[in-house]
Amino acid sequence: MPALSRPFKNQRYVPYVFVLPFVLSAGLFFVYPVIQTIIMSFQEIAPGLREFVGLDNYRRLANPRFYTALRNSFVYTFLTIAVLIPVPMVLAVLLNSARSGAGRSAFTVLRGMLFLPALMSVVVVGTVFRLMFASSESAIANTVAQLLGFPPTEWLLAGPTTAMVLLVLVATWRWTGINIIYFLAGLQQIPNELYESAELDGANAFQKFRRITVPLLRPVTVFVLTISVFGGFAMFEESFVLWGPTSPGNVGLTMVKYIYQQGFQSAQMGLGSAVGITLLAIVFLVSLALLKLTGFFRQGDE
C-alpha cells in the first residue's frame, strides 16, 4: 500500500496519473486504428492475402460512384449547417425569453420535449420517416399531398433532390433540440445588463439579436458548426435505414456508405481504408478552413 501511494507524494505526478486513462483509451481506440487504416490503404487485403500495392487504392477512387458519394456528403453537410445553426439559434432566443416569470414551467417542458428526438435510436427515427414517406397512398406524406390536390408520390424513389430533402428533414428533426440546448447554455451566459443598456439606447429586438446575441454566441456557434461538419460527413445510418445498402441511382450514397460498400460488401478492405483516410483528410481540411473563416484562431490569439 505505501508503494502504491508513493507517486502521489510528489504533486508533479498527480495530473499525469489522472490523464493516463484518457491517453491510453485515445491511443487504443483512435490513434492505433487510424495508423492501421493508413497502412491498410496501401494494401490489397483479401482472405489469405495481404499485399502492398502502393497508391493503387487511391488511384481507384477516381470513379463516378466516389464522386457521387463525395458530392452527396458535401451537399448534405452544407444543408444541415444551413438549417441546424440559424433555426436552433432563433428558437433558443425565443425559449430563453420565456424562461423567467410565468413562462418558466413552459420553458422547462419545451426544452425537454425538444431534446427527446436526440435520445431516440437512429433506426427507429429512420423507420418512422420511411413509413411516413412510403409509396402507398395511405402513407402520411401522400395523404397530405392528396389533401392539397397533388398525386401520390414514391418519395424515396423520386430523385436525388427529394432524397436529400428527406435526409435533411431527418437530421433537422433529430438534432434541432440538442443544438437549442447548446445555444441556450450560451445565452444564459450573456449578462442582461447588455440588453437593458441597448433598450435604453432605443435598440429593437432585431438589433439586440444582431449586435449582442449573435457576436457573443460565436464560441457556441463555432462549436455547433464543427460538430455539424463531423456529423454531416459521418452520416450513414439514416441513409442505410431509408434505402438499405444500395439506393436507386445512388441518391442516398454518402462517403461512409461508400466505405461500407467497398470494405464490407465487396470485401475490399484496402480500398475501403483509402476512402476512410480520404474522408478523414477532407473533414480535417474543411474544419480547419471553417475555423479560420469564423475567426476562431484570431480569437484564441487574443
Q: What is the largest CA-CA distance in the chain?
A: 81
- Region 153-157: what's the mean pLDDT? 85
* DSSP letter, residue 248: G
| pLDDT band, very low/low/confident/very high, at 105 (cuts 50, 70, 90) | low
What is the structure's pLDDT at 297?
60
pLDDT tens profile 247-285: 888 888 999 999 999 988 888 889 999 999 999 999 999
pLDDT above 60 (res 14): yes
- Is residue 158 a contact partner of residue 251, using CB atoms and an 8 Å limit? no
List the CATH number of the domain containing 143: 1.10.3720.10
186 grid coordinates: 450560451
In a domain, 49, yes or no: no
Task: Determine the structural domain holding residue 79 and report its residue range.
Answer: 63-301
In a domain, 45, yes or no: no
In a domain, 18, yes or no: no
In a domain, 58, yes or no: no
What's the domain count of the chain?
1
What is the structure's pLDDT at 102?
53
List Cα–Cα distances, 75 to 30, 161, 164, 291, in angstroms: 27, 10, 8, 19
pLDDT above 70 (res 48): yes
For residues 221 and 237, give the distance between their C-alpha atoms in angstroms, rounded to a whole number.
Answer: 25
pLDDT above 80 (res 201): yes
pLDDT tens profile 204-247: 888 888 888 889 999 899 999 999 999 999 999 889 988 888 88
For residues 208 and 203, give the distance between their C-alpha atoms in angstroms, rounded to a whole number.
Answer: 6
